[in-house]
Amino acid sequence: MTLFLASVVNEAEAKLAVAGGADLIDFKDPAKGALGALDARAVRQGVKAVAGRRRTSAVAGDPGMGPSRLTEAVAAIAAMGLDYVKIALPSDAQHAARIAALARLARTTKLVGVIFADEQVDPSLVDELAGAGFAGAMLDTARKDAGRLLDHRDPAWLSSFLARGQGKGLIAGLAGSLEPPDVPRLLPLSPDLLGFRGAL
């Protein structure tokens, strides 16, 4: 079954997402970019508002953060009682070091690596996430003004990504400026999650 992830920025939006039927409430700050981390106080208030009625996740750190700082940011967010912690994994020279640095935390925290479909993507990155003990892998878009997910990757490519992740035991999800018409196009690919923000 595909779950509905709703990205929110505060307690009020979290309550609306719960009332609207979202399966997973995701905290992030779109003003800081595709995967900007929300203020810690806002995350705590949001988690409290959800009160265990839905699963929760939050972005930790910012894209491009080095391995040491990212590890600290992930540990701080994980301590807030979230079900999942999402980490941006931009396609740069440090991505392997980031994943390796987070392997220890992955033993006790459900980490989801977010890969950007509008950048160069090495499919073996999914294998690296699984090898480091991550719980999931998601595709998103880094530049929201440069088109939606399906403008960058066709259904066959997306299906291969999902199958590779699920074959490794990962939760595999899709996001990236998705709109309602994308739902019937993507559901047949059997993603574990479909993530929305702007369309809400």
Q: Tens of pLDDT along 44-77?
A: 999 999 999 999 999 997 777 888 888 999 999 9
Question: What ranges in the chain are assigned the alpha helix state H?
Answer: 11-19, 40-50, 67-78, 95-102, 124-131, 149-152, 155-167, 182-186
Contact 91, 57 (CB under 8 A): no
Res. 146: pLDDT tops 80: no
Is 48 marked active-site?
Answer: no
Q: What is the pLDDT of residues 73-120, one digit of tens each?
A: 999 999 999 999 999 988 777 888 899 999 999 999 999 999 999 888
Confidence of residue 17 (pLDDT cuts 50, 70, 90): very high
Res. 142: pLDDT tops 90: no
pLDDT for the residue numbered 173: 98
Give the residue extent of every domain in the chain: 3-196
pLDDT for the residue numbered 200: 73
Is 168 marked active-site?
Answer: no
Q: Where are the beta strands (DSSP E) in the chain?
A: 3-8, 24-27, 55-59, 84-88, 111-116, 136-140, 171-174, 193-196
Cα torsion at 43, 48, 54, 55 (round to 10°)? 40
Q: What is the pLDDT of residues 122-138, one digit of tens each?
A: 888 999 999 999 999 99
CA angle 134, 136, 138 (to 5 degrees): 130
Using DSSP, state whether 95 is helix, strand or coil: helix
Q: What's the mean per-residue pLDDT of the chain?
A: 92
| Catalytic annotation, pick one of 28, 48, 110, 168 | 28
Spatial CA neighbour of 145 closest among 70, 33, 50 = 33
Residue 154 neighbours by CB distance under 10 Å = 9
pLDDT for the residue numbered 35: 78
User: b or e along 95-104 (b: 16 or more beta carbons within 10 Å of the residue's beta carbon)?
Assistant: beebbebbbe
pLDDT for the residue numbered 58: 95
Name the CATH superfamily for 3-196.
Phosphoenolpyruvate-binding domains (3.20.20.60)
Confidence of residue 145 (pLDDT cuts 50, 70, 90): confident
Contact 149, 182 (CB under 8 A): yes
pLDDT for the residue numbered 33: 73
pLDDT for the residue numbered 139: 95
pLDDT for the residue numbered 67: 86
Contact 25, 50 (CB under 8 A): yes
| Catalytic annotation, pick one of 15, 32, 86, 144 | 86
CA atoms of 57 and 108, how far apart (whole Å): 15
Using DSSP, state whether 163 is helix, strand or coil: helix
